C-alpha cells in the first residue's frame, strides 16, 4: 500500500500543480496494475487482499478519466482481473500460500480493507467538496451576471428614453429661434431649463461611462496622500453652482491641512455623486452641509441634507444595482448608478460608506478614509 499511496501523491501533484492530468492517470493505472498483478499469485490469488486494490483502481479511474480514457482503462482493468481468474481456475498450482494461519490472513484483509475504504471515502469527500465549491462559484457568477444584465438593460432603456429628451429640447429650441422671435425673458427661461437638463444628462453619462469602463477594463485604483480640500475644491464649487440654481445653500467646512490616502479621481466622483444626490432630493430654500471629522486614524466626510429622506424599503438596496433610479424634487432623473459607484470606489480605497436617514427629514451620508499618517511629522 505504501508504493500505491506514493503514486497517488505523485498523480495529485502532476494534475493539480503541473496541469498534466492525462499523464497522472496513465502513471497511476500502469503502476497500480503492475504492482497488483505482480503480487496476485504470490499472495494467494483470489483469496488475497489484491481484489480490494483492483476495486480501488477501477473506482479511481471511473471518477477521474475522461470519456475517451474511460473507454480504454476500465475495460483493460476488467479484462486483466478476469484473466487472472481464468489462469487461477485452470492453473491453481500458480497460487502460492502466504498466510501461516487464518489469524494472519484476517489481519491482512482487515488492514487492507480499512486502507482502501478510507482512501475511497477521502477521495469521494475531496471530489464532493470541489464539486460543491464549483457549484457555489457558478451560482455567484450567475447572480453577478444577472445583475450586470439587469443594469445593462436599464442603461439601454435610459439611453433610448432619457438621453433623447434633452436632445429633442435643444432641437426644438433651435427650431423656435429660426421661426419666431422670443423675448429676452422667454429665452432666458428656456435656456436655463436646457442648461439644467443637459447638466443632468452629463452627470448621468459620466456615471454610465465610469460603470462601462469598470466592466470592460476592471477597476484601477491609484492610492496616494492627497490634500482633501484642494482635491475637492472644484467639485464643490460646481455643485454649489447647481445648488444655487435650485435656491439651495451648500456649505462646506474642510480643514486645509487634512490629507487622506485616496485616489483623487475616484474621490471626486464619490463626493460629486453624494452632493448631486443631496441637491436632487432637497427642496428649494433648504440647506446642504459638507463637513469632516477625525476619529483615530480615519477622516470621515459627512454630506447632510434636509431633503425627502430614504424610505425603509429602499435602505437595503441603496448601494446595489437593484436600486431604482428615482425623480428628484424638481423631477430630476437619475440612473441609480451613483451610489453603487460610490460604494465600489470607496471600498477600493480601503474606506467605508454608510448613511442615516429619516423620511421627510433628511439624510446624512458618511465616507470614511485613512488619514495620511505622515502629515504631522516634520523633519
Q: Which of 218, 246, 280 is the last residue of a domain?
A: 218
Looking at the domain assignment, is residue 339 inside a domain? yes
Q: Do 200 and 283 belong to one domain?
A: no
Contact in structure between 266 and 251 (CB atoms under 8 Å)? no
Grouping H, G, I as helix, E, B as strand and the rest as coil, residue 282 is coil
Rounded to whole angstroms, the Cα distance separating 276 from 365 reads 12
Q: Do 73 and 202 belong to one domain?
A: no
Q: What is the pLDDT of residue 45?
A: 87
Q: Do 185 and 253 belong to one domain?
A: no
Between 102-161 and 164-179, two packed helices, what is the crossing angle to 10 degrees? Answer: 10
Looking at the domain assignment, is residue 60 inside a domain? yes
pTM above 0.85, yes or no: no
Q: Do 119 and 6 belong to one domain?
A: yes
Q: What's the domain range around 214?
A: 165-218
Say whether pLDDT at 377 is over 50.
no
Residue by residue, DSSP assigns 216-252 as: HH------EEEEHHHHHHHHHHHHHHHHHHTT-EEEE
Maximum Cα interatomic distance, the chain, rounded to a whole number of Å: 120
Rounded to whole angstroms, the Cα distance separating 162 from 188 reads 23
Q: Do 209 and 314 belong to one domain?
A: no
Q: What is the pLDDT of residue 379?
A: 38
Mean pLDDT on 321-327: 61
Q: Do 211 and 239 belong to one domain?
A: no
Looking at the domain assignment, is residue 234 inside a domain? yes
Q: What is the pLDDT of residue 295?
A: 86
**pLDDT per residue over 281-301, tens digit each?**
888 889 999 999 998 889 999
Q: What is the pLDDT of residue 166?
A: 65
Q: Do 14 and 95 belong to one domain?
A: yes
Residue predicted with more confidence, 226 or 146: 226
Looking at the domain assignment, is residue 101 inside a domain? yes
**pLDDT per residue over 95-141, tens digit each?**
888 888 889 989 988 988 898 888 889 888 988 898 899 999 999 88
The three cell numbers locating residue 359:
423620511
- Per the structure, how many domains does the chain have? 3
Q: Do 198 and 135 belong to one domain?
A: no
Q: What is the pLDDT of residue 378?
A: 40
Grouping H, G, I as helix, E, B as strand and the rest as coil, residue 304 is strand
Looking at the domain assignment, is residue 160 inside a domain? no
Residue predicted with more confidence, 30 or 187: 30
The three cell numbers locating residue 300:
470621515
CATH number reported for the structural domain that contains residue 305 in this entry: 3.30.565.10
Amino acid at each position: 500500500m505504501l508504493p500505491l499511496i506514493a503514486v497517488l501523491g505523485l498523480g495529485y501533484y502532476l494534475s493539480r500543480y503541473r496541469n498534466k492530468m492525462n499523464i497522472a492517470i496513465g502513471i497511476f493505472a500502469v503502476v497500480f496494475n503492475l504492482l497488483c498483478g505482480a503480487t496476485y499469485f504470490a499472495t494467494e490469488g483470489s483469496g488475497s487482499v489484491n481484489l480490494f486494490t483492483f476495486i480501488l483502481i477501477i473506482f479511481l479511474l471511473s471518477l477521474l478519466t475522461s470519456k475517451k480514457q474511460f473507454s480504454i482503462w476500465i475495460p483493460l482493468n476488467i479484462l486483466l482481473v478476469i484473466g487472472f481468474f481464468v489462469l487461477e481456475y485452470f492453473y491453481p498450482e500458480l497460487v502460492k500460500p502466504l498466510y501461516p494461519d487464518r489469524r494472519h490472513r484476517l489481519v491482512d484483509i482487515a488492514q487492507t480493507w480499512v486502507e482502501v475504504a478510507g482512501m475511497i471515502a477521502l477521495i469521494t469527500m475531496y471530489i464532493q467538496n470541489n464539486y460543491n465549491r464549483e457549484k457555489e462559484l457558478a451560482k455567484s457568477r450567475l447572480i453577478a451576471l444577472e445583475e450586470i444584465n439587469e443594469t445593462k438593460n436599464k442603461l439601454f432603456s435610459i439611453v433610448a428614453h432619457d438621453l433623447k429628451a434633452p436632445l429633442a429640447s435643444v432641437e426644438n429650441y433651435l427650431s423656435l429661434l429660426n421661426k419666431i422671435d422670443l423675448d429676452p425673458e422667454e429665452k432666458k427661461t428656456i435656456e436655463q431649463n436646457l442648461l439644467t437638463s443637459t447638466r443632468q444628462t452629463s452627470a448621468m453619462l459620466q456615471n454610465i461611462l465610469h460603470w462601462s469602463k469598470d466592466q470592460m477594463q476592471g477597476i484601477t485604483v491609484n492610492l496616494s496622500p492627497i490634500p482633501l480640500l484642494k482635491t475637492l475644491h472644484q467639485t464643490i464649487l460646481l455643485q454649489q453652482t447647481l445648488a444655487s440654481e435650485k435656491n439651495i445653500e451648500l456649505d462646506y467646512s474642510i480643514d486645509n491641512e487634512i490629507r487622506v490616502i485616496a485616489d483623487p479621481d475616484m474621490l471626486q466622483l464619490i463626493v460629486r455623486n453624494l452632493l448631486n444626490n443631496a441637491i436632487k432630493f432637497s427642496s428649494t430654500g433648504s440647506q446642504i452641509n459638507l463637513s469632516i471629522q477625525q476619529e483615530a486614524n480615519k477622516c470621515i466626510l459627512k454630506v447632510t441634507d434636509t431633503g425627502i429622506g430614504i424610505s425603509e424599503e429602499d435602505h437595503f438596496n441603496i448601494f446595489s444595482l437593484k436600486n431604482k433610479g428615482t425623480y428628484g424634487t424638481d423631477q430630476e432623473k437619475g440612473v441609480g448608478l451613483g451610489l453603487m459607484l460610490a460604494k465600489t470606489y470607496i471600498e477600493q480605497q480601503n474606506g467605508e460608506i454608510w448613511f442615516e436617514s429619516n423620511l421627510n427629514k433628511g439624510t446624512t451620508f458618511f465616507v470614511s478614509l485613512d488619514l495620511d499618517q505622515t502629515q504631522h511629522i516634520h523633519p
